[in-house]
Amino acid sequence: MLKMERRQSSSAWMPYVSPLLAGVLTLISGAIVFSVLGQPPLYALKTFLITPVADSYGIAELCVKAGPILLCALGLSVAYRANVWNIGAEGQLLMGGLAGSALAVQFTDSDSVLLLPMVLICGMAAGLLWAGIAALLKTQFNTNEILTTIMLNYIAFNLLQYAVHGSLKDPHGFNFPESAMFADAARLPILWEETRVHLGIILALISSAGVWVLLSKSFMGYQIQVLGNDERAARMAGYKQKRLVWFALLLSGGLAGLAGVGEVAGPIGQLVPQISPGYGYAAIIVAFLGRLHPIGVVLASVLMALLYMGGEMVQIELNLPLALTGMFQGMLLFYLLACDMLIQYRLRWVSPNVGNLATASD
Amino acid sequence: MTSDAYNDDLPVPAGANELPMPSRLALRNITKQYPGCLANDHISLDIEPGEIHALLGENGAGKSTLMKVIYGLVKPDIGTLYWRGRQLTIADPSHARSLGIGMVFQHFSLFETLTVTENIALALGTPAREMKALGERITDVSSKYGMALNPDRLVHTLSIGERQRVEIVRCLVQEIKLLILDEPTSVLTPQEVDTLFITLRQLAREGCSILFISHKLNEVKALCDNATVLRGGKVSGNCKPAEETPASMARLMVGDDTPISTEYAKAEGGEAFLEVMQLSKGTHDPFGTRLNNINLQVRSGEIVGVAGVAGNGQEELLAALSGEEPVKEAGAIQLQGVAIGSMGPADRRRLGVAFVPEERLGRGAVPNMSLHDNALLTGFLTGLVRNGMVVGAKVDAFAKQIIDRFKVKAAGTHSEARSLSGGNLQKFIIGREILQNPKLLIASHPTWGVDIGAAVAIHEAIIGLRDNGAAILVVSEDIDELFLISDRICALCDGELSALKATAETSIEQVGRWMAGDFDEQDDSLSTKRAAVTPIHAQGKADVQAENRVC
C-alpha cells in the first residue's frame, strides 16, 4: 500500500517537476473530458493547444495575451512571498484601465509624446491606490486581505461599468457602452507589423527582470521572504512588517494597473465593458504554477495565454463551450496543489503489515 | 475497558508466564526506524513493581520514542513488550491506560477553560452523572498523595506546578501500575520538586512502578533505584544512580569524547550597561503575565541570570527587552543612559544589542531557509547589505565563519535550518549573534533541549563574550545552568523580579524561594506587601494576581 511520509528536508527537484506533472495530469484529464464530450481526444487536444499557435498570427496573439497575465502574476508573486494574499489583481487591473482611459479620452486630439507615459502612469497609480485600500485596511485594522481584495474586485468592475455606460461613454458612439477611440499618441506602439503585438510585452519582460532583482538580490526582497516564511523571525529581527505589507500590495497593485492600462492603450484602444477575460484571476494560478519565481512566471503566463486561445479555438472549430478555458485553468491549479504535496512528502510503498493485536483480557 | 484493568489485578495463573520472574514491564530488542534516523536500536529494559526507574539520555537519544512505544503511541518495527509477564502489543493510549499505564507529558494536555474535574472526566470518558463522585475521588487521591488540588478550579487559574498535579492525579484516579513522567521537574521550582519526589516515593512504596525520564542527574541520583542510559538510540549502560556520581552518569550519556563542563570563574563586571527601571507592562494575551515594577541592572562584563518557572513573565520581559513589544515609557529601559524602551528591535541592534530567542526554529531561524539566508536574518547590520542589495559573497563568508568558529555540523551554508539538530542550530544562532560583537546579549533558554556537548560549547561562547566585556542577560528555567554561568542571579515570579544577588552569595534554596514569590530581603514596603500576599499564595496563583491588582 502507498504511504505518504514526510521528507527530512524539502525535495530539491520536486518544485520543478510538480508543474510538469500537473501539466501531464491536466492533459490526461482534458483528453477524458473531450472524449466524454464526444470529440476525438487527441484531435481536440491538438485543436486546443497546438492549432492556436501554428502560425505567426497565433504566436503574436500569444504575446498579446501573455503580457497582462505576466504583469499581474509578477506582482502577485511578490505579494504571495510575503504571505499577503492579494486576490485583487483583477480589480486593480480594471482600475488601471479605467483611470488610464479617463485621462486618454480627455486628449483624443493630442499628439504629445508625453501623453502615453502620462496614461501609463495614471493607470499604474490607480491600480496601486486600489491595492493601497486593502493595505490600509490590513495594516490599520488587521482585516483579511483575501476578503477585502475580492470585494474591491466587484467594486472596480461596477465602477468600470458605470463609467463606460456613463461619464466616459463616447458622445458620438451611437449610445454603445464604449469610450471614444484614444489618440495614437496615447496608444502603445506596435512592435510587429500586421499584428497586435505592442510595447506592453517589453514592459512586462522588463518588470520580470526587475522583480527577479528584487527577490533574488535585494534586502527588501529578502525581508519579504522572511516575513512570508516566518513572521515571528521577521519580528525578532526587527523588520518593519507593515512597511513590507504596504510594499508588496502596492507593487502588485501597480503592476496589475499597468496591465490594465496596457490593454486599453494597447490592443483595445478605447474603454469597453470587458477589458479583461479574468486575467487577474488567471494570474493567481500563473503565480503558483511559476513557483512565485519571475522566470517560472514568464513560462506559466505563456501557457495560460495559450489556454485562453485554445478555449476560443475549440469554440470555433469544435463548437465546444468557452468555459473549457476555465475548466483547464481549474484542473491545472488543482493538480499543481496536489503535486506540491510531494515537495514536503514522498510516497513510499510499504507492505501491508498485519499487527498481532493481543488484548489485555486474555 | 476499565473492567480489564481490574481483571489484571488478579494473580497471573501459573504457566501463563513467558518470563520466569514477571517484571511489571519488560522490553526486549525494541527497534524503531524513522526516515533517516534509527530512533531505537534493540533496546531492552526491565521495570519491577514498586521500582523508580530512570530513563536517561540526551535529546535525540531515543527516550521519547521509547516511552511512546510503551504508551502505545508508536508501534515498534521489531521487538517485544511483556506486561506483567505476558507478551502483548499495546494498540493505542486508551489500551495502555486500561492496562494501568499512565503518562504525564512534558507539555500538558489540559483544557484551560475547563475545571480540573472536567479535564479528568474528558480523559477518562466519565459520564456527566458521575462527575460528583469523580470530584470526590480527585480530592481523596490528591490529599492522599500530598498534592492539594481543588477539583472545581478552572485550569487556567492554576500554576504550572498545579497543572502538573492535575496530570498526575488524572493517572492516579485510575488503577495505576506504571506511571511514566517525561521531564516532570523542568517546570517546577526546587521546592516543588521535593514535594513531587515525596509523592512519587509514596506511590512506589504502594507498588506502582515509575519510569522517570530526565536529564537532570542530581534528581535522578536522589530519586531513582535504577537507571537505563540511552545514547544514539542504543542502551549505553545501566546503573544504580545512588552508587554513581552525576559526572559518571553524564559520561554514560555523552560518551567519552565530549567535554563536560563543571565550573567557570565568576566575574565582577564593570559599569552598568543595561538598566531597567520601574518597568511595568500589561499584556494582550489573556493568559499572559503583567510585568510589575521590574528593576534590573546588567553591567558590562558580567552575566546576569533570571530564574523562574515558565509563564511568570519571562516572555513579556524578553519581548520588552528585545524591542519586539516596545514599552510606552522609553526611559524604563536604558542602555548606558540612552532611553531605548520605545525602540524596535532593529534600532536596538544598531546600539549593540543581540537577542537569542527561546524558539530556535520559527523565530531564531527561518526553518525553510538556508543557513546562508539565516545568517543574514540578524546579520544585516554588519555590512552584508550595500545600497539595499544583499552582498551574497559577504553573507556566505559570514555564514561560513559562524559554521567554522562554532563547529556547527551542517552539510554547508546551503543546508536548510530545519535540517540541523537542535544543538547545532542553537550553536549557529548564538554564533550569529556573538560574531556581531554585541555590547549586550540577551539569551532566552540558550541550551534548552540541546545536547551536553553543544551546551558546553554555548556556555563557553557566552563566557568568552563576557570576558570580552559584553553585558549578558540569560533567562532560563534550568536553575543549575544559571548557577553554572551567571555572576549575579535573580528570579521572576508573577511578573515581579526578586533582588539581584551575586550567585556565589546565594543558594539554590534561596533562588527556589524567589521563584515561588517569596522575595526576602527586599526593601521594606515590598516585603510587607509580600508578607500579606504569601499566605494567599498557598491557595493559588490566581488569587495572588487578583490581590496584586487590588494593591
* B158 and B200 co-located in one domain: yes
Is residue B549, in this structure, part of any structural domain at all?
yes
pLDDT tier, B283 (very low <50, low <70, confident <90, very high otherwise): confident
| ipTM of the shown complex | 0.86
| Mean pLDDT, range B415-429, rounded to an integer | 88
* A3 and A106 co-located in one domain: no
pLDDT in the model for residue B20: 54
The nearest alpha carbon in chain B to A348 belongs to B35
Residues in B closer than 8 angstroms to A9, CB to CB, are 415-416, 418-419
pLDDT tier, A351 (very low <50, low <70, confident <90, very high otherwise): low
* B495 and B381 co-located in one domain: yes
**A216: domain range?**
42-316
Is residue B263, in this structure, part of any structural domain at all?
no
| Mean pLDDT, range B47-62, rounded to an integer | 88
Is residue A362, in this structure, part of any structural domain at all?
no
Contact call for B91 and A357, based on CB within 8 A: yes
| Mean pLDDT, range B509-533, rounded to an integer | 64
* A174 and A28 co-located in one domain: no
* B95 and B210 co-located in one domain: yes
* B481 and B527 co-located in one domain: no
* B414 and B398 co-located in one domain: yes
pLDDT in the model for residue B550: 36
Residue B383, domain CATH: 3.40.50.300
* A58 and A197 co-located in one domain: yes
List the single best residue of B8, B99, B380, B420 to mutate versus A (max A Cβ within 10 A): B380
Dist CA B17 CA A218 (whole Å): 70
Residues in B closer than 8 angstroms to A212, CB to CB, are none
pLDDT in the model for residue A273: 95
Q: Please determine, for residue A356, whether its predicted confidence score (pLDDT) is greater than 50.
A: no
Which positions ≥6 away from B203 have C-beta within 8 Å? B145, B172, B176, B179, B210
Is residue B442, in this structure, part of any structural domain at all?
yes
| Mean pLDDT, range B179-183, rounded to an integer | 90
| Mean pLDDT, range B160-166, rounded to an integer | 85
Dist CA B154 CA A36 (whole Å): 61
* B53 and B179 co-located in one domain: yes
* B242 and B305 co-located in one domain: no
Question: Of the spans A79-83, B85-89, B111-115, which averages the highest pLDDT?
Answer: A79-83
Is residue A124, in this structure, part of any structural domain at all?
yes
Dist CA A214 CA A9 (whole Å): 26
- Residue pair B279/B327 in contact by the 8 Å Cβ criterion: yes
Is residue A188, in this structure, part of any structural domain at all?
yes
Q: What digits encode the pLDDT tens for the residues B473-500?
A: 999 988 889 999 999 999 999 899 999 9
Is residue A219, in this structure, part of any structural domain at all?
yes
List the single best residue of A230, A231, A346 to mutate versus B (max B Cβ within 10 A): A230
Contact call for A6 and B380, based on CB within 8 A: no
Is residue A12, in this structure, part of any structural domain at all?
yes
Is residue A102, in this structure, part of any structural domain at all?
yes
* B223 and B302 co-located in one domain: no
pLDDT tier, B13 (very low <50, low <70, confident <90, very high otherwise): very low
* B353 and B397 co-located in one domain: yes
Q: What digits encode the pLDDT tens for the residues A233-266?
A: 999 999 999 999 999 999 999 999 999 999 999 9
Q: Please determine, for residue A290, whether its predicted confidence score (pLDDT) is greater than 70.
A: yes
Burial class from Cβ neighbours inside 10 Å (0-12, 13-18, 19+) for residue A96 reads: buried
- Residue pair A215/A205 in contact by the 8 Å Cβ criterion: no
| Tally of domains within chain B | 3
* A143 and A213 co-located in one domain: yes
Is residue B542, in this structure, part of any structural domain at all?
yes
Q: Please determine, for residue A215, whether its predicted confidence score (pLDDT) is greater than 70.
A: yes
* A35 and A63 co-located in one domain: no
* A123 and A180 co-located in one domain: yes
Q: What is chain A's mean pLDDT, rounded?
A: 92
Express as a percent the part of chain A with pLDDT over 70.
Answer: 97
Cα A331 to Cα A326, A342, B422: the distances in Å are 9, 18, 41
Give me the phi and psi of B367, to 5 degrees please.
Answer: -55, -45
Contact call for B377 and A237, based on CB within 8 A: yes
Q: What digits encode the pLDDT tens for the residues B319-352?
A: 999 999 999 889 999 999 999 999 999 999 999 9
pLDDT tier, B261 (very low <50, low <70, confident <90, very high otherwise): low
| Tally of domains within chain A | 2
Is residue A357, in this structure, part of any structural domain at all?
no
Is residue B452, in this structure, part of any structural domain at all?
yes
pLDDT tier, B386 (very low <50, low <70, confident <90, very high otherwise): very high
Is residue B272, in this structure, part of any structural domain at all?
no
* Side-chain-side CA neighbours of residue B337 (13 Å): 1
Is residue A164, in this structure, part of any structural domain at all?
yes
C-alpha grid cell for residue A147?
A: 476578503
* A83 and A217 co-located in one domain: yes
- Residue pair B52/B196 in contact by the 8 Å Cβ criterion: no
Residue A161, domain CATH: 1.10.3470
Express as a percent the part of chain B with pLDDT over 70.
Answer: 89
pLDDT tier, B253 (very low <50, low <70, confident <90, very high otherwise): confident
**B185: domain range?**
2-254
Contact call for B344 and A240, based on CB within 8 A: yes
Q: What digits encode the pLDDT tens for the residues A141-192?
A: 999 999 999 999 999 999 999 999 989 999 888 889 999 999 999 999 999 8
Q: Please determine, for residue B287, whether its predicted confidence score (pLDDT) is greater than 80.
A: no
Compute how many other C-beta atoms are within 10 angstroms of the C-beta atom of residue A5.
12
pLDDT tier, A21 (very low <50, low <70, confident <90, very high otherwise): very high
The nearest alpha carbon in chain A to B378 belongs to A237
* A26 and A48 co-located in one domain: no
